[in-house]
Structure 1
Amino acid sequence: MAWVRDIGRRRGDLATVAAGLALFGFGLAELYVPLPPYVDGEGPDITALSGAWTAVLTVLLAGYGLAVAACRSYPRVAVVLAGVCFTAQSFTPLLPEWPVVPLLALVVACFGCVAVGGRHGPVIGGVSYFVSLGIETTVADDPDWAFIVFVALAVMGPAYAVRMRRAQAERLVALAIEREAAARLDERLRVARELHDIVSHGVTVMVLQAGAAQAVLDSDARQARESLDAVQDVGRDVVIELRRLLVVLRGAEGGTERLPSLRHLDPLLAGVRAAGGQVDVTVNGDLGRVPAAVDVSGYRVLQEALTNAAKHAPGATVSVSIDVGRTDLRVRVVDNGPRAGRRSDGSGYGLTGISERVELFGGTASSGPREGDGFEVRVELPLSAKSMAPALAETGAPG
């Protein structure tokens, strides 16, 4: 939309330049072409001016035209120029009270300064207007302040209204830019969480399998090959998950079958089991009742919890409990690994990512060592549409 605003701005600048040229041409016609007086029997005899005064008035006409032409691009300079020319003409034989060009140029410049003249535009416009007209009426010995104030109100009132509308539009644009920046930041964080969930789990299992293959490479070639096959399988799954993420990022169409789900845990559990761990899963309730957005987030939470267990407690037994209640989904992951020296350094982002993901749904997440040995991760995700609204807007998953 920036190019649209640029085109509109250029058209406005061209319009004011054309108005300035037209006003200058009309002033030259007033000055050099014998025209009948605007009011019969009134008005100065322009033809009686000397050549020097005619040249001075021509320069002042150029100043008026330049002020009108620049009233949009340089409003404060334009109104000062119009006021100086108006004041200077007050000391010539042809006072600015009679020809139409001087007053019209001053009024247009004041309107532009008040409307688009920045923070001090109204003050500069008002001072230029009242000072120049005050000097002119004093020199002419005809102080018609009622007319001066009436014209000021008629011009500056609408100009100030335009100023307020422009300020409101600028605030709306700034707010839109701020919201867009926040949305982009949220999108980057979402992608970062997805990448962490996908890559961290797969790489952890692959490292453990590669380590197991290296340990038995000389003594048990068959076991080593099985471990390397598991590395290949997990790597292939990671690539598939990354491709799914790219599909979402590119906006390609795809149904919910493309998304990971708690109803399809075999690939996830196979990686942990291949790394030497034992996983027992208990499901209570109908997973078909779980909305897609909650289902995906529950899967990612479980994936990170299993990765956490495989990384810090390799070979431990992990118990997974998935309960679908009437109002929420509860996921509980418990392992019996050693407690000492485990996830207390806070150097990873897994548990933090779980908390952030759950907060999007208005749910709760807790994690920590159990009494004795082991570690527990407990998550509750509400199933209500109201609680899911922010997450649905972010993930784009259907409810």
Structure 2
Amino acid sequence: MSATLGIRYRWRDAAVAVAAVALVAFGLAELYVPLAGYVDGQGPDLGALPSGWLAVLTVLLVGYGLAVAACTSYPRAAAVLAGACFTAQSFTPVLPEWPIVPLLALLAACFGCVAVGGRTAPTVAAVSYFASLGIENTVAGDSDWVFIVFVGLAVLGPGYAVRMRRAQAARLVALAAEREAAARTDERLRIARELHDIVSHGVSVMVLQAGAAQAVLDSDSHQARESLEAVQDVGREVVTELRRLLVLLRGAEAAPEGLPSLRRIEPLLTAVRVAGGRVDVTVRGDLATVPVAADVSGYRVLQEALTNAARHAPGATVDVSIEVDGGSLRLHVVDDGPGLGRRGNGTGHGLTGMRERAELFGGTVTAGPRPQGGFEVRVELPADPDGSVSAPGTKAATR
């Protein structure tokens, strides 16, 4: 976008420079070549002017050319310069209303000032135009203000319309940039959620397995060996998940069967069981009918809930309920471990990730300690892929 605008601006400046050179060339022809309008009594005979006046008019002509050339780069200065040259020529033997170059230069400079200038540019252009023409009108003894106002409106009006179009285009560009920045932020948050879910769960299980192996290293070498093998298995799973994430980030499509799914949650249950706990899973409804996006998000939410249970309530019994009912996917994870006091050192990033995932589908998350003890997480995700993506209110306790 910026490269295209840069090329367009360069072409515009080149066209304006060519117009300025052509205007100066035509003005020189008016000054030094006797034209019919000046030898038939309709204007002064420019060929009979003293060389001093011709030099002055030539300098003013160069000023007009500079004003036209700078009307897009320095619009306010160009309008002031054109008005000053026009006013100065009013006190020469050749009034600027007779040759056509001065009026064209003034109109072009004022148009450019209004169209591309800053906030005060319309005022500068209007003052330059009406002041210079008013002085010229007074010096010439003419009172044709109707013509002056008509020409001014015919030039400044379209210039203002161009100004409004440019402002609208600038707003659209700014809005597109804001949307692009928001999209990048959302993508970074999505990647952060995926990394948190993958790494946090995997590392937690590996730490628990390594701790179990260390505890029985001297007394039960077979159990220690199984725990170390489990660490290897979880490590391979984490590496596979990270590779899959990298594939997605590179723009390649991942096959649906290669994505995490609530139909394959057995690896998630290992963390709780390794910590000495028990997991009871109840599934109601057909998980095959859940769209891929909701299925993956539900898997990640369950992964985080089970990881928290293993980390904060080792040895607890965890009940997991997965229900597909109509257009909703409901997850209910509850454990009978210690309450909030045992979980006060958590950062809360996991529950934040749950809430963000649910909000993408217009779902809800309720999480917190139970009065009778333990911790409870309830999640409801609309399974309709075309569902709302609003951000409803959610309740969560830092865990």
TM range (shorter): over 0.9
**Paired residues for 1:178-197 under 5 Å:** 178-197=178-197
Corresponding residue for residue 5 of structure 1: 5
How far apart are 1:331 and its partner, in Å? 0.4
Query: Any idea what the Cα deviations from partners look like across 1:20-48, whole Å, max 9, x if unmatched?
Result: 11111111111112222279531111011
- TM-score between both structures, scaled by the size of structure 1: 0.94
Q: Tell me how far 1:251 sits from its aligned partner.
A: 1.0
Q: Distance in 1 between matches of 2:78 and 2:265?
A: 73
Task: Map 1:187-336 onto structure 2 (within 5 A).
Answer: 187-336=187-336
CA contact (8 A) 1:82 1:109 kept: yes
Aligned partners of 1:282, 1:38: CA distance in 2, in Å? 103
Which digits, 9 at most, give the CA deviation of each residue in 1:197-220, with x for residues without a partner?
111111111111112222222333
Distance in 2 between residues matched to 1:253 and 1:350, nearest whole Å: 27
CA distance in 1, matches of 2:124, 2:24: 24
Equivalent residue number for residue 137 of structure 1 = 137
Is this contact kept in 1: 2:198–2:238, CA < 8 A? yes
Residue 227 of structure 1: CA displacement?
A: 1.3
| Partner SS for 2:387 | helix
| CA offsets 1:116-159 (integer angstroms, 9 cap, x no match) | 11111111000000000000111111121011001001111111
SS of structure 1 residue aligned to 2:348: coil
Residue 259 (structure 1) shift: 1.4
Q: Distance between the aligned counterparts of 2:293 and 2:334, measured in 1?
A: 24
Distance 1:337 1:198 in 2: 24
SS in 2 for 1:280: strand
Q: 2:294–2:383: 8 Å Cα contact kept in structure 1?
A: yes
8 Å contact 2:362–2:382 — kept in the other structure? yes
RMSD: 1.6
Partner of 1:397: none
Runs of 5+ consecutive residues of structure 2 not aligned to the other structure: 392-399
State, as a whole percentage, how many aligned pairs show the same letter. 72
TM-score for both structures, normalised by structure 2: 0.94
Is the CA contact (8 Å cut-off) linking 1:317 and 1:335 kept in structure 2? Answer: yes
Distance 1:272 1:234 in 2: 14
Count of aligned residue pairs for this structure pair: 391
Report the CA distance between 1:223 and its aligned residue.
2.0
Matched to 1:305, the amino acid is: A
Contact 1:354 1:365 (C-alpha < 8 Å) held by counterparts: yes
Q: Output the CA distance in 2 between the equivalents of 1:305 and 1:2.
A: 46
For residue 269 of structure 1, what is the amino acid of its counterpart? L
Query: Is contact 1:234-1:271 (8 Å) kept?
Result: no
**Which residue identity lines up with residue 175 of structure 1 in the other structure?**
L
Range 46-55 or range 270-279, more displaced: 270-279
Look up the equivalent residue of 2:6 and give its one-letter code.
Answer: D
| Structure 1 residues 87-128: Cα deviation after superposition (integer angstroms, max 9, x where no partner) | 011111111010011000000001001111111111100000
Give the 3-state SS of the residue equivalent to 2:190 in structure 1: helix
- Compute the displacement of 1:49 (Å): 1.1
Partner of 1:97: 97
Stretches of structure 1 that go unaligned for 5 or more consecutive residues are: 392-399
**Contact kept? 2:208, 2:274, Cα under 8 Å:** no
